Amino acid sequence: MPRRVTVDADQVRRLVGEQFPRWAGLPVRPVSESGWDNFTFHLGDTMVARLPSAAEYALAVEKEQRWLPALAPRLPVPVPVPLAKGSPGAGYPFPWSIYAWLDGTPAREDRIADSVRFSLDLAGFLAALRSLDVDGGPQPGKHNWFRGATLRTYDAQARRALAALDGHLDVGPAREIWETALDAHWDGVDTWFHGDLAPGNLLLDRGELAAVIDFGTCGVGDPSCDLAIAWTLLTADGRRVFRERLSIDEAAWARGRGWALWKTLVTCARTAERADGDARRVLGGILTEYASGK
């Protein structure tokens, strides 16, 4: 587990004042729904300071600074574009970034106005991302927790979770899904991927997709990791049109299901004695969808 640091608003004020005098004096306040990998703070009304919470997450800063300005103009919805890169200081040990603030509410099933339209819009975003030139793009590695690489990276972790859940649920079907995903062939053609299409990284405006944020795990490789959202957020109808829009074959769909299963199993295993309702719901959806297609 990464060793996280702490960051407070006063530190951010000092960092900004020391390194970006033109923004000194702007009010700094924590973002209400900040993530785990980064601490985020409003900087004035139109910007956000984003500070990695651990050395492992700081590996993504240079990548985002390099690639987001190139990707953003070619994508159909707004994504973060860095305005400045900060350096360690004021007791904070890592590089960090300032971005323009993107308005929106984190996605949730009950906040989505039309599940089919949302799914098509999300698939359109991924289609655009996948179409971009991969030359020189970041290969899977520590900077993105090996998203875009083989699922076998997480085989031991998934099997530990299955063992921990044995007796709490019928793990046989889940094990079959996992092994099917491991065996599903990838053609080896590198493609851009986001790497963490979690609901919190999809912003809504009036129930529609308004922005995609947090590209810390992005890279080029096998893009099936981005398909996990089909089980973690989309409805059955949304999942169907999402797959059709992206023309996903059986092998890629199986790998995407495997990515969704891995994260869900780990979450369920942490709370085996006290059921995590959302994780159990996602797991149930994965099992049902797999069984219906057999």
Span 143-164, pLDDT tens digits: 999 999 999 999 999 999 999 9
188 domain residue, yes or no: yes
Say whether both 139 and 193 belong to one domain: yes
Say whether both 96 and 115 belong to one domain: no
Instruction: Using alpha carbons, select from 54, 47, 66 the residue that is nearest to residue 6.
Output: 54
Say whether both 57 and 136 belong to one domain: no
Say whether both 163 and 248 belong to one domain: yes
What whole-number distance in Å separates Cα of residue 75 and Cα of residue 261? 28
- Which CATH number do you get for residue 218? 3.90.1200.10
Say whether both 181 and 138 belong to one domain: yes
How does residue 169 score in pLDDT terms, banded at 50, 70 and 90? confident
* 72 has pLDDT over 60: yes
3 domain residue, yes or no: no
Side chain identity, residue 265: L
- Which CATH number do you get for residue 41? 3.30.200.20
4 domain residue, yes or no: no
Q: Where are the alpha helices (DSSP H) in 225-276?
A: 229-232, 236-246, 250-270
117 domain residue, yes or no: yes
Strand partners, 96: 86
What is the pLDDT at residue 32?
87
**19-59 pLDDT, tens digit each:** 999 999 999 999 987 788 999 999 999 999 999 999 999 99
Domain count, the chain: 2
3-state secondary structure of 202: strand
Domain end marker among 83, 100, 117: 100
Instruction: Using alpha carbons, select from 180, 196, 157, 156 the residue that is nearest to residue 290.
Output: 180
2 domain residue, yes or no: no
How does residue 249 score in pLDDT terms, banded at 50, 70 and 90? very high
Say whether both 280 and 231 belong to one domain: yes
Q: CB 96: neighbour CB atoms within 10 A?
A: 23
Say whether both 131 and 259 belong to one domain: yes
Side chain identity, residue 172: G
Q: For the chain, what is the mean pLDDT?
A: 96
Instruction: Using alpha carbons, select from 293, 221, 215, 214 the residue that is nearest to residue 257.
Output: 293
Say whether both 90 and 115 belong to one domain: no
Say whether both 61 and 177 belong to one domain: no
Domain end marker among 47, 67, 100: 100
Strand partners, 105: 204
Distances in whole angstroms, Cα of residue 270 to Cα of each of 51, 157, 162, 165: 27, 12, 11, 9
What is the pLDDT at residue 275?
57
- Exposure string (b/e) for 227-257, b if CB count within 10 Å is 16 or more? bbbbbbbbbeebbebbbebbebeebbbbbbb
* 273 has pLDDT over 70: no
Backbone angles phi, psi at 231, to 5 degrees: -100, -25
The continuous run of DSSP H or E covering 82 comes out as: strand 82-86
How does residue 234 score in pLDDT terms, banded at 50, 70 and 90? very high
What whole-number distance in Å separates Cα of residue 266 and Cα of residue 1? 14
What is the pLDDT at residue 277?
80
Using an 8 Å Cβ cutoff, are 194 and 64 in contact?
A: no
Strand partners, 209: 204
Q: What is the mean pLDDT of residues 72-91?
A: 98
What is the pLDDT at residue 79?
98
28 domain residue, yes or no: yes
Domain boundaries, position 245: 105-293
Q: CB 280: neighbour CB atoms within 10 A?
A: 16
Say whether both 95 and 152 belong to one domain: no
134 domain residue, yes or no: yes
173 domain residue, yes or no: yes
Instruction: Using alpha carbons, select from 217, 216, 214, 212 the residue that is nearest to residue 195.
Output: 217
Domain end marker among 77, 100, 123: 100
Q: What is the mean pLDDT of residues 159-176?
A: 95
Say whether both 214 and 154 belong to one domain: yes
Say whether both 85 and 112 belong to one domain: no
Q: How would DSSP label each residue in 1-68?
A: --------HHHHHHHHHHH-GGGTT--EEE-TT--SSEEEEEETTTEEEEEESSHHHHTHHHHHHHHH
pTM of the model: 0.96
Q: What is the mean pLDDT of residues 256-282?
A: 88
* Residue labelled with tokens 């984003």: 50
What is the pLDDT at residue 240?
98
Side chain identity, residue 194: H
**180-208 pLDDT, tens digit each:** 999 999 999 999 999 999 999 999 999 99
